[in-house]
Amino acid sequence: MGFLRQSVFLLLVVLLGLISCEDNPENPEKKIERKVEKWLKAGAFMEDSAYQFIAKQVSFGPRVPNTSNHVKCGDWLSTKLASLGFEVSQQVGEVTAFNGAKLPVRNIIGNFNKNSSKKIMLCAHWDTRPFADRDTQNINLPIIGANDGASGVGVLLEIARIIQKDSLKIGLEIILFDVEDYGAPNYNSSFSDLEAMNDTWCLGSQFWSYNLPENYQKPNFGILLDMVGAKNAVFPKEEISRMYAGYHLNKIWKLGQYLGYGSFFKNKIAPPLTDDHTYINELTRIPTLDIIHYDVSPLYK
């Protein structure tokens, strides 16, 4: 989980510095450097803490909707986020899976500085896949989801822990999306088949996007984390992120490279991926980018 330290370091810099730099465009790099120094004094990101947040999720077992593991983990996530100083609410309902199954959806939402006129959204999914259709042996068994699900949530919980120690002026909304990983199984990985079943994925973010309150204050932009715990992770510029949130994407990647993390944040272009940010962008028009491990072919440069 070595990447977690670098990823959150960058995200905190973006979170604390990006919007304020837009207010005062003069020498933004100096402003970021000052914020980095301030953050380091306040308390650094702790890899062990983030790892424990991941391990706790994994300890519940697979977090598949309609199971007791799912309920227990959701209860813990809600309680933990509240204990970190966030105002927590839950969006609950029912969605229909690709096979006609009715699934409970439970999106867990935490707000910090809720009344701020500026807000950033950070999100990840917390459910896990009910079958390992990419495996070669245990194809019908659920996955444990240490990387695919728990790693993104672990990063966000560690950010939430640190935020309490900083005089953050802007608002922060953390959304833990449910039922992201219940998409139709794919056994041959062909791109055409993936395209045909795209909308069977990300049911929690679709539900959230279709059911926003009338008085909902949209964030200035959003960052989605998915599969950020892999060893030697690579994060290219994914096409949907570029299309809808290109300004923020380029600025974040530039910051990552400026801070010395260019080995993670690549300038390679990735083809569009269906993920929670897809529906947030298409249905709500909140510019949202996806930081996701994707080992892109050298063809996309």
Residue pair 138/132 in contact by the 8 Å Cβ criterion: yes
Given the structure tokens 């970021």, which residue do they identify? 32
Residue pair 301/271 in contact by the 8 Å Cβ criterion: no
Q: How confident is the model at residue 10 (pLDDT cuts 50, 70, 90)?
A: low
Q: How confident is the model at residue 185 (pLDDT cuts 50, 70, 90)?
A: confident
CATH code: domain of residue 163? 3.40.630.10
Residue 137, domain member (yes or no): yes
Residue 119, domain member (yes or no): yes
Residue pair 169/45 in contact by the 8 Å Cβ criterion: no
Residue 301, domain member (yes or no): no
pLDDT of residue 295: 74
Flag the least confident range among 131-135, 143-147, 234-238, 282-286.
Answer: 131-135
Residue 12, domain member (yes or no): yes
Percent of the chain residues topping a pLDDT of 70: 78
Residue 299, domain member (yes or no): no
Residue pair 123/219 in contact by the 8 Å Cβ criterion: no
Burial (CB count within 10 angstroms: exposed 0-12, middle 13-18, buried 19+), residue 200: middle
Residue pair 199/231 in contact by the 8 Å Cβ criterion: no
pLDDT of residue 190: 45
Tell me the two tokens of residue 282: 């298409």
Distances (CA, A) of 219 to 19, 56, 63, 93, 264: 11, 29, 28, 23, 26
Of 94-98, 158-162, 187-191, where does the model show the most confidence? 94-98
Is the pLDDT at 139 greater than 80? The verdict is yes
Q: How confident is the model at residue 137 (pLDDT cuts 50, 70, 90)?
A: confident
Give the integer Cα–Cα distance in Å for 7 and 156: 11
Domain range enclosing 78: 3-292
Residue pair 37/59 in contact by the 8 Å Cβ criterion: no
Residue 25, domain member (yes or no): yes
Q: pTM for the full model?
A: 0.89
Flag the least confident range among 27-36, 127-136, 143-152, 231-240.
Answer: 27-36
CA atoms within a 13 Å half-sphere pointing along the CA-CB vector of 127: 29
Given the structure tokens 């088949």, which residue do they identify? 193
Q: Which of 274, 118, 144 is nearest to 203 (CA)?
A: 274
149-168 average pLDDT score? 85
Given the structure tokens 């998409």, which residue do they identify? 183
Q: How confident is the model at residue 49 (pLDDT cuts 50, 70, 90)?
A: confident
Contacts of 235 (CB under 8 A, 6+ apart): 264, 265, 266, 291, 292, 293, 294
Calculate helix-pair angle for 152-163, 3-23, nearest 10 degrees. 50
Domains: count for the chain: 1
3-state secondary structure of 29: helix
Q: How confident is the model at residue 301 (pLDDT cuts 50, 70, 90)?
A: very low
Residue 46, domain member (yes or no): yes
Residue pair 112/189 in contact by the 8 Å Cβ criterion: no
Percent of the chain residues topping a pLDDT of 90: 58
Residue pair 202/276 in contact by the 8 Å Cβ criterion: yes
Is the pLDDT at 15 greater than 50? The verdict is yes
246-254 average pLDDT score? 90
